Every structure is written in structure tokens, then in C-alpha cells.
Chains A and B, each alone.
Chain A
Amino acid sequence: MTFEAFDAWWWPYLFILIAGALATDTWRFLGVYLAGGISEDSDLLVLVRCVATALVAAVIANLIVFPSGALAETHAALRIGAALSGFAGYFLFRRSVLMSIVVAEAVLLTGMFLL
């Protein structure tokens, strides 16, 4: 049953609700349920934050190393180089999120024009 399996107007929306909303909100609701017994100062929260942070970090790294769309056409070394320069720019420009993006884009675009 793919996204285009049925010709009915409502099918894509049901597809999004089940494969998208249900698949994400279940984890959010589970989080609310599990948080029930945890206090704000609990040491367990440090562990939970570590796991959450590592998971998002893995998402970030995979977006750069195994990207989708037009970014997939570029060289992996160029993408990683651009991301590392951007991260360096973040510290160089007093922790500016904006400047880190400017630096990374400059490296990526220069690389795409030259290579």
C-alpha cells in the first residue's frame, strides 16, 4: 500500500497520519509518560540528555555524510570539510550560529564551483 496505491483524495492524508504522525507522536507521548516520575534534579536526566544529544548528533552526521537530494551530488569530503569549517567558524565568531552557516556555505559553494 504505497502513497499512490488508491485514487481516493483522503488516502495520502491517511498515509501521512499513520506513517508520519502516529510514527512520531507515539515517541513523544511515551516521553511524557516516562517523565512522570522523574524530578528535574535527577541524575537520570543527565543520562537521558546524553542519549538524546547523541541521537540528534547521529542525525546531523548522517545528513552530512549520507545526504539526500541535490546535496548527494557533491563530494563527501567537500561536505564534511564545509561542516567542519562551519563548526570552526562557530567558535571563531564568538559562538555565532549565523556565521557558522555563512562559513560552511562559502566553503561548499566555492568547492562546487571549483570541482
Chain B
Amino acid sequence: MTSQHAAGNEPGSEEDQRGNLHWYWRGVIAAVSLPAIILGASFVGFAALALEAGVTMAQALFMTAFVWALPSKVVLVGAIMAGNGILAAAFAVALSAVRLTPMVVALVPELRAPSTRPWVLYFLSHFVAVTSWVLALQTLRDVPRERRTVYYGGLGSTLILINMCVVTAVYLVARDLPPIASAALLLITPLYFLTSLWGSAREQAGHVAMVLGLIMGPLVHLVWPAASLLATGVIAGLGAYGWHVWKRRAA
């Protein structure tokens, strides 16, 4: 599917004439989407968890802006609740965030133009988390290449801003969520990740990787909890890639 699309299908020159501000705004608009609402609902669950852990509103907002990736924040709050030291907490968060590296590697070639300066890419990489990554992979092809960094800047910063508002709202309003409501909210994140990840797969191998990862993740966690994500990613990812190569040879 990728190869047909990648071959020089750049949008028309009329769109190209529009300035950076226009494309930044288009990124902002793209962020206000159903995935953003679902992510916002997941952030209600996160804010409730942070509140329970004794994290203040200012600290929770700081976390949202500077850590951003939701699974990593959940791990960080979990470490705070468990009374872990700073090194143990950093180690746990780092393990949960290894997945960001391949996500960024996959995104950067679509994001950069020949004239893009490296610091822009380093800065924009902070916005990478599941939702902005999925939205970017789905919509970047319709953006002229020279405007993609500006567009992604609008998309990523708006998603962070929306969820900082969500965290504020939860701290101001919902001091005591009934357990059944927080359980319902906590189920939204994995389910949203599940379907959006399936929808964003470029090739069939992505679906193979996903099914293998879903099955292996909890099983590896039972045997080797400290490195379960990394081990699952490498083994299931290599397996899916092997399937991709084998299928191409057979065809």
C-alpha cells in the first residue's frame, strides 16, 4: 500500500502557495478530532489517578506538557504511588518509552523536507505519542512536504493544550469519581489504542505485528516483567517482518 502512495503524489501547487500560518492552523484543526476526544477521555482517567496519588494540579499539568506520552505518565504516577526512588522511577518510565524510538524513526522520513533543520525535528519529536503519531501518519500525505513540520507542530501542540485543559477540569471538578466510572474511563485508552493502531497499519505485516504483540505482551510480562515491552517488540516485530519478507518472496 505504501509504495503506490510514496511515489511523488504531492498535492497540487495551489495548496503549496499557502503560507506556514495556514498549515499550522490546518494542523490545529486536524488535532480537534474524534481521536483527540477519546484521548481526552483517557486523560480524565489519568488525572483521576494522579489526584489519587497526591500529585498536585500544577505537577500534573507539568507532567502532561513535559512527558506527554500517556503510558509513560501512568508508569510515572505508579512509581510515585509506590514510593519508588528517582532512579527506579526513571528506569521504569524509560522502559515504557522505548517504543517511542521506532515510532519517531518511522515518522521522521515523512516529516522532513530537504531544507528541514535538525533542531526542528528534535523539537517536534517531543510531540510524538500514539495519538499524534497515528493522526500524522494518516494525514501527512495530504500536506505539501515543505509544510509538514509546521503542520505537525500545530497538531502536536494543540493535542497537548487540549489535554492540559482536561487535566485542569478534572482537578477542579471531579474530586471523587465513583469506582465504576473510573473503571469505565480506564478501559477507553487501551481500546482506542487497539483500534487506531489497527487502522494506521501501512502493510499487512503491521497487523501481524499487532496480533503477535497483543498475545505475547502479557505472556512475556509474566516471565520477564522488567523488559516485557522491549522483548515483545523485538521478537514480535522481527516475526512480522519475517512474514512480510516471506510473503513477498512467495508472491
Listed in ascending order, the chain A residues whose CB lies under 8 Å from chain B are 1-3, 12-13, 15-32, 34-35, 38-42, 45-71, 73-74, 79, 82-83, 86-87, 90, 95, 97-98, 100-101, 104-105, 108-109, 112
Contacts and interface: CB of A to CB of B under 8 A. Distances in A.
A67 B201 CA distance: 25
Interface residues of B, number: 109
B84 A2 contact: yes
B59 A59 contact: no
Contact of B190 (A3, A20, A26, A63): A63
Contacts of B125: 25, 28-29, 31-32
A52 B34 contact: no
A51 B94 contact: no
B104 A31 contact: yes
A23 B101 CA distance: 12
A54 B66 CA distance: 25
Given A53-B237, A56-B99, A83-B194, A28 B106 contact: no
B101 A82 contact: no
B90 interface: yes
Given A60-B197, A63-B190, A105-B187, A53 B206 contact: yes
Contacts of A90: 194-195, 198
Contacts of B52: 69
B109 A15 contact: no
A26 B218 CA distance: 26
A59 B80 contact: no
B141 to A, nearest CB: 11
Question: A46, A58, A63 — which one has the most chain B CB atoms within 10 A of its CB?
Answer: A58
Contacts of A58: 213-214, 216-217, 220-221, 228-229, 232-233, 236
Interface string B135-168: 0000000000000000000000000000000000
B187 A71 contact: yes
Considering the complex of A and B, which 4 residue pairs feature the smallest CB-CB distances, nearest first? A31-B104, A57-B213, A58-B217, A51-B237
A60 B118 contact: no
Contact of B49 (A45, A55, A68, A95): A68
B102 A52 contact: yes
12 contacts: A21-B66, A23-B91, A34-B105, A49-B106, A50-B237, A53-B240, A58-B217, A59-B71, A59-B193, A68-B74, A70-B179, A70-B182
A77 B218 CA distance: 14
A79 B194 CA distance: 14
Given A12-B56, A51-B237, A61-B213, 9 more contacts: A35-B109, A46-B202, A48-B105, A57-B232, A58-B217, A58-B233, A60-B194, A64-B187, A104-B191
A97 B184 contact: no
Most buried by A among B62, B130, B217, B230: B217
A45 B240 CA distance: 13
B110 interface: yes
A21 B110 CA distance: 25
